[in-house]
Amino acid sequence: MSGIYIHIPFCKQACHYCDFHFSTQLQRKEEMVTMIITELENRKDYLPKRFTVQTIYFGGGTPSLLNEQEIESIVNAIHKHFSLDLLEFTLEANPDDLEADRLKTFKSLGVDRLSIGIQSFDEHVLRFYNRAHNAEESLKAINTAQKAGFEKLSIDLIYGFPHENHEIWKKDLNLGLMLNPGHISSYALTIEPKTAFGNWLKKGKLKEATEDFQAEQFEMLQEAMAASGYLQYEISNFGKEGQFAIHNTNYWMGLPYLGIGPSAHSFDGKSRGFNVASNALYIKTIKNGESPFQIDDLSKADLINEYILTSLRTIWGCSLEKLKNDFGVSLDEKEISELKNQGMISKKKEIIFLTDKGKLLADSIAASLFI
C-alpha cells in the first residue's frame, strides 16, 4: 500500500501561528496546478511498483481554495499515471470554503474524507489566530458536510491558547464532541520563530502558556476523547472505530508515499526526500525541465531514531523485533526498565508503548531511547 500527497501552497491569509509552506499570493495558482500535474507525470515511477496507491491526500496550505477544474485536472493526472485501488481520498478544507455545492463537487471527484481546520469555536481566539473564518461558519460547515454524506469527517482543534483558565478549551472540546465528527486531531499551540506569534514573543507582545497549563489541557483532551468513545491511535489523533486516517497511519507505519508540490516530502521505502519550499522556485525548476526534489541524506541512526519517535506515538507501539530485524539494533534494556519503573512505558511481548503519563513526555522519552 502507498499514498500520494499533494501540497496546495496557498492560503487566503496567514494564520499567526502557522509555519507551514504557503503563500497568500494567489496569482500563480493556475500555473502551480499545471506544474503539479507535470511533476505527477515526471515522478510516476517514484513509488515501488509492488505497492498500489490506496490513499490520496490533498493538504496544504488550503486545498479547498482550488476550483473544481483545478482539483479535477490533478485527480485526472493521478488516475492517468498511477495504478490505484483507493481506500481513502482526503481533502483538507477551511470552514469558509465549504458551501453545499462545493461539497457536492468534492464528492463527485472522489473525495470521501474531509479534514476541516476548525482550531477553535471561540471568536476571540479565532481573531487572535488570524483565521479566515468565524465560529458560526465552522458549525455550518460541519453540519453541511454531515448532511452531504461525508461519513469520514475530521476536525482540527488547537489547545494551549494562553488564558487565565481552561474555560475556552473546555467549551471547544464540548462543542467539538457535540458535533460528533468521526475523527479529531488536536495539537498544542506552539510558537514557531518565523511566524507572527514568534515575532510577538520576541518583542514581548505575547506570553506563552506554560508547559503545565498545556499538559493540563492535553489531559483534559485525553479524558474527554476516551469518555466519548474516541481512541487515541496517535498522540495527536483520535478516531472512532473505522475512522482512523489511513493515509497518515501509513506514514507512521513506514509505508512509501509520493509528495507532490512545493515543500512536499516523499519516501520510496528506502530513502526520503523533499521538494523545494518556494512556489516561485518550484515553478521555475519544473518549467526548466529540472526536478524540485532532493534526497534527504539520512544516516542509519536517523532512520532508526525516526522510527522510535514515530512508532512510540502510536497505539501500535515501537517493535523491538522490527528494530532488530530491519536495522540490526537493540535498545538499551536498562533505559527500558527505568522508564517502565517510572510508569512512562509498558512492554507487551516485544513491543513498547507509552502510558498516558508517558504521552505527556513523548519526545523526551523517545530521545532517551535513541541510539
Query: Smallest distance, Å, CB 18 to ligand SF4?
Result: 3
* CA 113, 264, 192, 196 torsion-angle sign: negative
* 187 lies in the binding site for ligand SF4 (CB under 6 A): no
Question: How far apart are CB 169 and ligand SF4 at their closest, in Å?
Answer: 18
Residue of 42, 57, 58, 60 interacting with ligand SF4 (CB under 6 A) = 60
**Minimal distance in Å, beta carbon 189 to ligand SF4?**
11
Could you say whether residue 23 binds ligand SF4 (CB under 6 A)? no
CB of 122 to ligand SF4, least distance (A): 16
257 — phi, psi (to 5°)? -150, 150
Task: Copy the grid coordinates of residue 59.
Answer: 493538504
Would you call 174 helix, strand, or coil by DSSP? helix
Give 23 or 314: the residue with its C-beta nearer to ligand SF4: 23
| Residue of the chain from 3, 61, 95, 256 that contacts ligand SF4 (CB under 6 A) | 61
Binding segment (CB under 6 A) for ligand SF4, from list 36-44, 54-62, 240-248, 327-335:
54-62
Check the CA dihedral 183-189-191-195 and report its sign: positive
Applying CB under 6 A, the span of 17-25, 202-210, 215-223, 304-312 interacting with ligand SF4 comes to 17-25
Candidates 55-63, 227-235, 261-269, 328-336; binding stretch for ligand SF4 (CB under 6 A): 55-63
* Position 173, amino acid: L
Nearest residue (CB) to ligand SF4, 14 versus 220:
14
| Angle made by CA atoms 369, 237, 192, in degrees to the nearest 5 | 70
> How many whole angstroms separate alpha carbon 339 and alpha carbon 358?
9
Among 4, 6, 15, 224, binds ligand SF4 (CB under 6 A): 15
Q: Do the beta carbons of residue 85 and residue 62 sit within 8 Å?
A: no
- Residue numbers 94-153 binding ligand SF4 by CB under 6 A: 94, 117
> Minimum CB separation from ligand SF4 for residue 67, in Å?
17
264 binds ligand SF4 (CB under 6 A): no
22 binds ligand SF4, rule: CB under 6 A: yes
Task: With beta carbons less than 8 A apart as the criterion, state whether 56 and 303 touch.
Answer: no
CB of 153 to ligand SF4, least distance (A): 17
Using CB under 6 A, which residues numbered 62 to 101 contact ligand SF4?
A: 62, 94
Q: Does 262 bind ligand SF4 (CB under 6 A)?
A: no
Separation in Å, CA 271 to CA 48, 128, 205, 254: 12, 40, 42, 11
Cα 349 from Cα 357, distance rounded (Å): 21
Q: For ligand SF4, which stretch binds (CB under 6 A), given 8-16, 67-75, 327-335, 362-370?
A: 8-16
Do the Cβ atoms of 349 and 317 come closer than 8 Å?
no
Q: Give whichever of 42 and 94 is closer to ligand SF4, judged by the CB atom.
A: 94
Q: Taking CB under 6 A as the rule, does residue 251 contact ligand SF4?
A: no
* Closer residue to ligand SF4 in complex, CB, 60/182: 60
Q: Does 20 sit near ligand SF4 (CB under 6 A)?
A: yes
Ranges of H-type helices in 45-178: 68-81, 100-108, 123-129, 135-147, 167-178
User: With contact defined as beta carbons under 8 Å apart, do 362 and 317 qualify?
Assistant: no
Residue 125 region, left (φ>0) first, then alpha (ψ -120 to 50), else beta? alpha
Query: Is residue 18 a contact residue for ligand SF4 (CB under 6 A)?
Result: yes
What is the DSSP code string of 101-122? HHHHHHHHTT--EEEEEEE-S-
Q: How many residues bind ligand SF4 (CB under 6 A)?
A: 11
11 sits near ligand SF4 (criterion: CB under 6 A) = yes
Which sign does the torsion angle of CA 327, 333, 339, 344 carry? positive
Residues at the interface with ligand SF4 (CB under 6 A): 11, 14-15, 18, 20, 22, 60-62, 94, 117
